[in-house]
Amino acid sequence: MGVILLDIGNVVVNVDFMPFCRTVSRNGEAGAASIMERYCQGDLKDRHDTGWIGPNEYLAMIAADPLTLDLPLDRLRLAWQDIFTPMPDCADALETLRRRHELWIMSDTDPLHFAFLIDRFPVLRSMDRYLLSYEHGWLKRSPEAFRQVLDSTGLDSSMFLLIDDREVNTRSCAETGIGSILFRSWAETLASPVLAAFS
């Protein structure tokens, strides 16, 4: 039995930040695009996802930005969190994987998103372990994220397989000897020769 390292975003659930950006934008679509660039990608978000900026501080930054509407904090928080929808065929696919492997979540995420995900998507509650960037401080595009997995478990890299939708992450894990599948759909993933060989 090996360990599948599962990404969350666009693997277990779909992610779309634009509903958040539109909800909080003071200046329509143009403002939403600027909010996306400022808070949903780039250095600030990386620092939030790795725990260097806490969730309350992050929301306060967004609330104070002239680009955003004056919204109650609870509405701003929910807008930030409520960006996920179910991924087709995921629950059945995870049950198939679970028959032969442990399932560990390995996600670049922040505390607000993870709390929402666990609350709204029961499939995430049954994972065997959670490796979260805001707790350990590394994003998966850095090989250090995967070296930490190996160092903390004492397991050989051959015991792990990453399923992730971002090629930069699959390249990063390869530097540590961990195999991967670049996710496109669950049907394609379950039919992958890499998964068959891992089994």
> Is the same domain home to 161 and 187?
yes
d(C-alpha 83, C-alpha 110), whole Å? 13
pLDDT of residue 122: 94
Residue ending a domain, choose from 53, 81, 109: 81
Q: Domain count of the chain?
A: 2
> Is the same domain home to 43 and 92?
no
Give the CATH number of the domain where residue 131 resides: 3.40.50.1000
> Is the same domain home to 98 and 8?
yes
Q: Which helix (H) or strand (E) holds 193?
A: helix 193-198
> Is the same domain home to 8 and 36?
no
How many Å from the N-terminal Cα to the C-terminal Cα in the chain? 8
Residue ending a domain, choose from 29, 52, 81: 81
> Is the same domain home to 6 and 53?
no
pLDDT of residue 1: 83
> Is the same domain home to 168 and 181?
yes
> Is the same domain home to 9 and 21?
no
This prediction's pTM: 0.95
- Tens of pLDDT along the chain (199 residues) come to 899 999 999 999 999 999 999 999 999 999 999 999 999 999 999 999 999 999 999 999 999 999 999 999 999 999 999 999 999 999 999 999 999 999 999 999 999 999 999 999 999 999 999 999 999 999 999 999 999 999 999 999 999 999 999 999 999 999 999 999 999 999 999 999 999 999 6
> Is the same domain home to 103 and 121?
yes
Other CB atoms within a 10 A radius of the CB of residue 124 amount to: 21
pLDDT of residue 107: 98
> Is the same domain home to 176 and 96?
yes
Residue ending a domain, choose from 26, 53, 81: 81
Name the residue range of residue 71's domain.
17-81
